Amino acid sequence: MTADNEKKGASRRAFLKGAVAAGGAVAGAGMARAAGPDPLITEVQEWASGLGEGVDATPYGMPIRFEGDVIRRNVEWLTADTISSINFTPIHALDGTITPQGCAFERHHSGAIELKKDDYRLMINGLVDKPLVFTYEDLERFPRENHVYFCECAANTGMEWAGAQLNGAQFTHGMIHNMEYSGVSLRTLLTEAGLEAAGDLSDKWVYVEGADASSNGRSIPMDKALDDVLIAFKANGEALRKEHGYPVRLVVPGWEGNMWIKWLRRIEVTNQAVESREETSKYTDTLADGTSRKWTWVMDAKSVVTSPSPQSPIKHGPGPLVITGLAWSGHGAITRVDVSTDGGKNWQQARLAAEGQSKALSRFYLEIEWDGKEMLLQSRAHDETGYVQPTKNALRDVRGENSIYHNNCIQTWWVKENGEAENVEVS
Amino acid sequence: MTADNEKKGASRRAFLKGAVAAGGAVAGAGMARAAGPDPLITEVQEWASGLGEGVDATPYGMPIRFEGDVIRRNVEWLTADTISSINFTPIHALDGTITPQGCAFERHHSGAIELKKDDYRLMINGLVDKPLVFTYEDLERFPRENHVYFCECAANTGMEWAGAQLNGAQFTHGMIHNMEYSGVSLRTLLTEAGLEAAGDLSDKWVYVEGADASSNGRSIPMDKALDDVLIAFKANGEALRKEHGYPVRLVVPGWEGNMWIKWLRRIEVTNQAVESREETSKYTDTLADGTSRKWTWVMDAKSVVTSPSPQSPIKHGPGPLVITGLAWSGHGAITRVDVSTDGGKNWQQARLAAEGQSKALSRFYLEIEWDGKEMLLQSRAHDETGYVQPTKNALRDVRGENSIYHNNCIQTWWVKENGEAENVEVS
């Protein structure tokens, strides 16, 4: 149906300009075809000739069956067991910035537990004036905040250290989601417990742990704990899903997802980092010489083209093409994204759909006239600190190839003439 | 468990101040209790003693079973059939501003139809230079925008004209949702079809209709059509749900939901309003003298307290209480919300969780020390035009009581000493 509209070399922008300036004939120049005989247009369609489904059918709606492939996916060989594994966000199929909870990546260390609000308790203890235990209803009585933040696993894109591996943005970059959280500031609860007993706060920490068997404990410096950390109970307006830590999780804006403790049960004020398993043998970055970078909490600026990409090929011929993707930074707002179609030789500035928000996903678009030739598609994020997302090799020069975590390199998709795309590396 | 924490008269704010200033003893003054013997704390809990669910269990997640009451609800007696009816958003149970698609209100006129992307066509015809037909894939090739907008049915709160009726914010104010839309500007598509043929645009209209049997056609003045109307295909990042118009709906920011045509199939440029059923016998406001207000498209500034409310009673004794709700205006951003606990005699300024965004929901909070006495709880929205949400009686003075639509009056909940709430009117 669209074949005769895809005249090679016809530029939509040029067409628009011509139409506005001269009001001339425009047949066949755009992407749509002229209205005319089409069984879909001239006959009463099946869906317009009867009644649809009533409102009682959908007390809680699910995606339509035609979108059955827009789901989280795990990678069987990646972990020993699905109990301690990852389910990736289908970012290749999403647009905008909000991630619905239903398809937002999940990562657990001992499985997603089911914990009732009535059974829920949160203890604050350690170097506080008064150790306290909060019920869920107690938490609802403190002043609440709302913020949109991204949550990215430290291991997102981690397979890329060893070269182009998993084929698809969902798998290379899908350990990320972006939601509007409602909850209570951790600062509020720490103040409630009292921090006089802790003395000088500048060298104090909080140790946070979950109610699941792994407990997944992590140490957080007090200045971050008193800054923007949230005790969240809603995401995108509704209760956290079981797999996202129902009923309460920690939100640690801009910092690696492993610290966003789910099923949060305890916060201990300490005078040093606990150096738990999750921050020593795991979630530290092994360098080329075998030593490790310590305390690499912040997720550096990063971006990825989500479409076209291996799971979202170009399905049309040459002509107008929308390139789109996501960019984010744990250091603040995204200020600019560049896109290259030739593997980083030349760059064009993409359009941000909205002004960058601190520690939240930004959506970018670049509209091009695709000539039908192969492309080496890349994106490059800039954040408010002036930091620019590095190439994979620049990152390897500094960090070696032994790491799993904190790979924020520029990603390359080889888009072929037939519109299909592959994960590749450029030298 | 919380009983001994609820010492009447103990003010949490006073407590906080005391703790910071003097570092004194704080036992029992807060909402949480001192940490101590508690079976939940001193024993290994069931959920921490085994493994949870693996990631393969949830390719697309649903709310946890404990939240099974946070669903859309319809009101059987409200309409003759569920095919042409309403399913209300559970706003009493939500927080933040984003409405998940799964529980976002739905309203159809001939049922929710199932329309595949491959079968989808959008025609633009009438006074255009070149009538065009777009496939879904054609639409994806135009520049996209992202915006968060509220969609409110003109009949939201409509039952209140006749007095306090439905008991619960879900039913009085739940014909509203707020999502992040991704799509193409209608302006872009009209420009693609060319508007030279239409001549002077200032008196032209577009007539928009859906692919369902009702077609639900509406006329929109050209200046709105060229302003901020979107041809949307994603909501909150993912495809529109079937009941929200999959694969394409119209988004008409700030204007009544009936104009947000679902399963959008045709846009005709006309030299006058069509005066269809949906904009004459329906969706006009009958006044006291039997005449009608014509073309009442914009949804005026409005707000409602979502908690406490009839479906979200206070479950604790006197002391700190979070009052929260939603405010919105079709004329722009919310600039301020006031809350009254005495039926409108005295007002306190509530806290907006974020700066108001144009034509999108704002979340407000007011933290009070509840004395345990009954309250007549109200909220009052102000928008950027200076407009202030009116009382129910002020609205009736101007509009009579025969209308169904555009009731943006101040809502009153009678909160009793036991924490339960009822929908009432104050004189």
Bridge-based pairing of strands A249-251 and A230-235 is antiparallel
* Residues found in chain A: 427
Q: Say whether A241 and B145 touch across the interface (CB within 8 A).
A: no
User: What does the pLDDT average to over A222-241?
Assistant: 98
Q: Say whether A64 and B246 touch across the interface (CB within 8 A).
A: yes
Query: Three-class SS of residue A223?
Result: helix
Q: How many whole angstroms separate alpha carbon B407 and alpha carbon B11?
A: 38
Q: Which of A6-15, A27-36, A243-252 has the lowest mean pLDDT?
A: A6-15
Report phi then psi at A139, rounded to 5.
Answer: -60, -35
Answer whether B26 touches A (CB < 8 Å): yes
In terms of Cβ atoms closer than 10 Å to its own Cβ (0-12, 13-18, 19+), residue A227 is: middle
Q: Is this prediction's ipTM beyond 0.90?
A: yes
Closest-CA residue of chain B to A86: B55
Query: Three-class SS of residue A336?
Result: strand
Q: Say whether B182 and A96 touch across the interface (CB within 8 A).
A: yes
Residue B11: predicted pLDDT: 35
Mind telling me how many Å the CA of A120 is from chain B's nearest CA? 8
Q: Say whether B52 and A94 touch across the interface (CB within 8 A).
A: no
Q: Say whether A59 and B140 touch across the interface (CB within 8 A).
A: no
Select the residue of B26, B52, B141 nearest A108 (Cβ to Cβ): B52
Do you find a cis peptide bond into B39, omega within 30 degrees of 0? no
User: What does the pLDDT average to over A402-423?
Assistant: 96
List the one residue out of A87, A61, A15, A412 whose CA is nearest residue A238.
A61
Both tokens of B423, joined, read 């929908």
Residue B28: predicted pLDDT: 36
List B292's β-bridge partners, or say none: B286
Query: Three-class SS of residue B123?
Result: strand
Both tokens of B89, joined, read 């958003």
Helices (H), A38-185: 39-42, 136-139, 169-173
Mind telling me how many Å the CA of A341 is from chain B's nearest CA? 17
Answer whether A165 touches B (CB < 8 Å): no
List the one residue out of B209, B231, B167, B60 whose CA is nearest residue B423.
B167
Answer yes or no: is pLDDT of A148 > 70: yes
Q: Which residues contact A103 (CB under 8 A, 6 or more apart)?
A: A70, A71, A72, A89, A90, A94, B60, B61, B238
Q: Say whether A123 and B35 touch across the interface (CB within 8 A).
A: yes
Residue type, position B173, single letter: H
Q: Say whether A113 and B47 touch across the interface (CB within 8 A).
A: yes
pLDDT tens for chain B, residues 1 to 427: 333 333 333 333 333 333 322 323 333 345 777 776 676 767 788 899 999 999 999 999 999 999 999 999 999 999 999 999 999 999 999 999 999 999 999 999 999 999 999 999 999 999 999 999 999 999 999 999 999 999 999 999 999 998 888 999 999 999 999 999 999 999 999 999 999 999 999 999 999 999 999 999 999 999 999 999 999 999 999 999 999 999 999 999 999 999 999 999 999 999 999 999 999 989 999 899 999 988 999 999 999 999 999 999 999 999 999 999 999 999 999 999 999 999 999 999 999 999 999 999 999 999 999 999 999 999 999 999 999 999 999 999 999 988 899 999 999 999 999 999 999 999 7
Q: How many whole angstroms separate alpha carbon A278 and alpha carbon A284?
A: 9
Answer whether A355 touches B (CB < 8 Å): no
In terms of Cβ atoms closer than 10 Å to its own Cβ (0-12, 13-18, 19+), residue B50 is: exposed
Answer yes or no: is pLDDT of A3 > 80: no
Residue B2: CB atoms within 10 A of its CB come to 18
Q: Say whether B182 and A215 touch across the interface (CB within 8 A).
A: no
List the one residue out of A206, A209, A57, A214 whose CA is nearest residue A128.
A206
Q: How many whole angstroms separate alpha carbon B62 and alpha carbon B102?
A: 9
Task: Give B395-401's long-range contacts (Cβ < 8 A, gap of 24+).
Answer: B396/B161, B399/B285, B399/B287, B399/B288, B399/B293, B400/B286, B400/B287, B400/B288, B400/B289, B401/B161, B401/B162, B401/B288
Residue A1: predicted pLDDT: 29
Q: How many whole angstroms separate alpha carbon B31 and alpha carbon B40?
A: 18
Residue A33: predicted pLDDT: 76
**Residues 368 to 427 of B: which have CB under 8 A from any A CB?**
none
Residue B32: predicted pLDDT: 76
**Residues 256 to 275 of A: which have CB under 8 A from any B CB?**
263, 265
Q: Which residues contact B394 (CB under 8 A, 6 or more apart)?
A: B409
Q: Say whether B56 and A50 touch across the interface (CB within 8 A).
A: no
Select the residue of A53, A145, A191 nearest B353 (Cβ to Cβ): A145
Name which of B51, B65, B83 to mutate to probe chain A: the one with the most chain A Cβ atoms within 10 A of its Cβ. B51
pLDDT band at A170; cut points 50, 70, 90 = very high
Mind telling me how many Å the CA of A231 is from chain B's nearest CA? 14
Residue A37: predicted pLDDT: 67
User: What does the pLDDT average to over A298-304?
Assistant: 98
Q: Say whether A62 and B62 touch across the interface (CB within 8 A).
A: yes
Q: Say whether B62 and A321 touch across the interface (CB within 8 A).
A: no
Q: Say whether A191 and B16 touch across the interface (CB within 8 A).
A: yes
Closest-CA residue of chain A to B52: A111
Specify the DSSP class assigned to residue A117.
T
- CA angle at A410 for the pair A407 and A411, rounded to the nearest 5°: 95
List the one residue out of A1, A12, A285, A9 whose CA is nearest residue A155.
A285
Helices (H), B259-321: none
Q: Say whether B56 and A144 touch across the interface (CB within 8 A).
A: no
List the one residue out of B24, B26, B311, B330 whose CA is nearest residue B153.
B330
Using an 8 Å Cβ cutoff, are B383 and B334 in contact? yes
Residue A15: predicted pLDDT: 30
| Domains of chain B and any CATH numbers | 3-46 (no CATH), 76-293 (3.90.420.10), 302-424 (2.60.40.650)
pLDDT digits (tens, 9 = 90+) for A41-86: 677 888 999 999 999 999 999 999 999 999 999 999 999 999 999 9
List the one residue out of B43, B77, B89, B81 whose CA is nearest residue B306.
B89
**Residues 89 to 148 of A: which have CB under 8 A from any B CB?**
93-104, 106-108, 110-117, 119, 121, 123-125, 129-135, 137-138, 140-146
Q: Number of A:B CB contacts under 8 A? A: 431
Q: How many whole angstroms separate alpha carbon A210 and alpha carbon A217?
A: 7
Closest-CA residue of chain A to B199: A23
Q: How many whole angstroms separate alpha carbon B176 and alpha carbon B425?
A: 22
pLDDT band at A19; cut points 50, 70, 90 = very low
